[in-house]
Amino acid sequence: MAPLPPRERGWTADEILEHVGLTNHFLLILIQKAARKALKNSAGTDLGIAVAQYAFQLEKLQDISQPRAFSWVRPEHMEPTGTCPLAETRVQLRRQEAECLGLLAELPNGEGCFTAPPCR
């Protein structure tokens, strides 16, 4: 059964899933780099002390969390084409989930706070 077209210039569910897969692809590249950097920066550090001193800076996210806080035009390479079969998208999303879980497994002790010094 072909997906129903959206009413007002929106995407179909299949196109949304394709977009998520495309976006995840590029985000995972950044996450891989950050994980490598975190592991390098955490070498020789007492992770227990560093993690205890770590404070997430939520206030830095407050501004961008507001609707329409800034304009964003997604890059063309993240636009769904509508030609990717749903089965391929499903495989891609499952592979990306496994990759995320693998990266988390590589950072089991809080090393992620070492992506940018200082870790506070």
pLDDT number for residue 53: 83
Length reported for the chain: 120
Angle between helix 13-42 and 86-106 (nearest 10): 20
Backbone angles phi, psi at 70, to 5 degrees: -155, 155
% residues pLDDT > 90 (the chain): 49
Mean pLDDT in residue range 53-66: 84
Mean pLDDT, residues 26-55: 88
pLDDT tier at 69 (50, 70, 90 boundaries)? confident
Q: What is the mean pLDDT of residues 39-54?
A: 84
The pLDDT value given to residue 47? 81
pLDDT of residue 116: 59
75, two tokens: 């890059």
Please give the pLDDT value at position 24: 97
Q: How far apart are CA 99 and CA 67, in angstroms?
A: 30
Place of tokens 């749903």: 86
Name the residue ranges covered by the structural domains of the chain: 82-107
Q: What is the pTM of this model?
A: 0.75
* Distance from the Cα of residue 16 to its chain's centroid: 16
